[in-house]
Amino acid sequence: MNKQTISDIDVSGKKVFVRVDFNTPLSSKDPQADITVTDDTRIRAALPTLNYLLDHGAALILASHLGRPKTADDVQFAMKPVARKLEEVIGRPVQYIPAVMNDKVKQAAADLRPGDILLLENTRFHPGEKKNDPQLAADFAALADVYVDDAFGSAHRPDASVDGAARAMRAKGGPAVAGFLMNAEISALSAAVENPPRPYVAIMGGAKISDKIKLIENLLDKADKILIGGGMANTFLKAQGHNMGRSLVEEDALPEAKRLLGLAADRLILPVDVVTATEVSAGAPSEVEMVWALSPDKMALDIGPATLERFNAELQGAQLVVWNGPMGVFEVEQFAHGTNQLAQMLAEMVDHGAQVIIGGGDSAAAVRAAGLTDKMTHVSTGGGASLELLEGKELPGVAVLDGK
């Protein structure tokens, strides 16, 4: 990566503002309940950066958004459970202040000693965050001597804590650099975008094509083949003239699906069979049907065994695989088979020297649920950010950091 990282600068005795991605799932939406963090993957992913900074004599001011709060203080999204979880995984005290910016925050930051950790309130509680308000950005920068962005998952959003704070730090003469997670994400994903080893096979799934038309187009440009499963395959199959019964089909996206098929029908590989049911629920009777003979009252909810075999054949010899989007409704065990089998196949390919990169929030969750995260070359922690990078876009949160 052509950006400076924390290992390029001196942080000893410095106060470091770190934009982290602690946007973690929570156990409850009820503000009265004892809310806990149910998956600490993103907190753990920040540890290399946080521990490096602490070990090198820095004091930390941490900021993150959490969920999508509707009002300025939607307490169900307060950072308190995150502070507790961070204390547990980092094994040090964490001072949490239930405010994004006020005199208490400024005083607490001024009082920090090397090794101390201060966690601010959910940045989205402040109306200036989403507006990239220059005053809030300057206030963030004023808390510290150094700005670090380790929030890859937020790098596609030019918010005050992501974009403005980095600019404000530079304006006052301090460095604005990437953390280790940010660096690892950018390096792994841009290798696939810029200089892919071949053969390069992309795999796309998930619910909708409409979210991912640009991504499919960019991948058609870069990859040798694209295997398509999940709900988005239904729209392509319908565009080819198949009757998809009651499956999720995006009627509005049919013209786009036809256009993409017209660009490269021979390189877009679609399912030949699917697992169908009349209901998306555990225990609903399901069967395997060929895509050209789907029952009119059924929904396609997973890819079938013949499709898995076809995909396996297409993957043979691939040197790079990029996968985004589950092959079925993986949240329901009965329809998770295609996704799990594919994850298993890809893990074996890594054992044989292929590079396998997973992007997308649900895809990463599916790989994690299958217990295969550590088997893959790279599983991105950033949902939307990883997709935008794979689309070939420059991320504002990366562009703003100091170059080498």
In terms of phi and psi (left: phi > 0; alpha: psi -120 to 50; beta: otherwise), the region of 17 is beta
Q: Which is nearer to ligand ADP, 89 or 207 (CB)?
A: 207
In our burial notation (b when 16+ CB lie closer than 10 A, e otherwise), range 70-83 reads: eeeebebbbbebbb
Q: Which is nearer to ligand ADP, 105 or 277 (CB)?
A: 277
Q: Which does 179 bind (CB under 5 to 8 A by kind): Mg ion, ligand ADP, none?
A: none
Q: Which does 230 bind (CB under 5 to 8 A by kind): ligand ADP, Mg ion, none?
A: ligand ADP
Burial of 312 (0-12, 13-18, 19+ CB in 10 A): middle
Question: Site residues (CB under 6 A) for ligand ADP?
Answer: 205-207, 211, 230-231, 248, 300-301, 324-326, 328-329, 331, 360-363, 383
DSSP 37: B
Q: What angle do CA 20, 24, 30 make, to 5 degrees?
A: 130
Q: How far is the CB of 287 from ligand ADP (least distance, A)?
A: 15
**Positions marked active-site:** 42, 208, 361, 384
Q: How far is the CB of 233 from ligand ADP (least distance, A)?
A: 7
Q: How far is the CB of 363 from ligand ADP (least distance, A)?
A: 3
Say if CB 27 and CB 38 are below 8 A apart: yes
Give the range of 177-185, 196-204, 315-323, 353-361 binding Mg ion by CB under 5 A: 353-361
Size of the site for Mg ion (CB under 5 A): 2
Q: How far is the CB of 279 from ligand ADP (least distance, A)?
A: 12
Q: Which is nearer to ligand ADP, 128 or 231 (CB)?
A: 231
Could you say whether residue 230 binds Mg ion (CB under 5 A)?
no
Could you say whether residue 388 binds Mg ion (CB under 5 A)?
no
> Can you read off the two tokens belonging to residue 276?
């169908």
Q: Which does 193 bind (CB under 5 to 8 A by kind): ligand ADP, Mg ion, none?
A: none
**Dist. CA 377–CA 324, nearest whole Å:** 14
**Dist. CA 381–CA 368, nearest whole Å:** 11
Site residues, Mg ion (CB under 5 A): 361-362
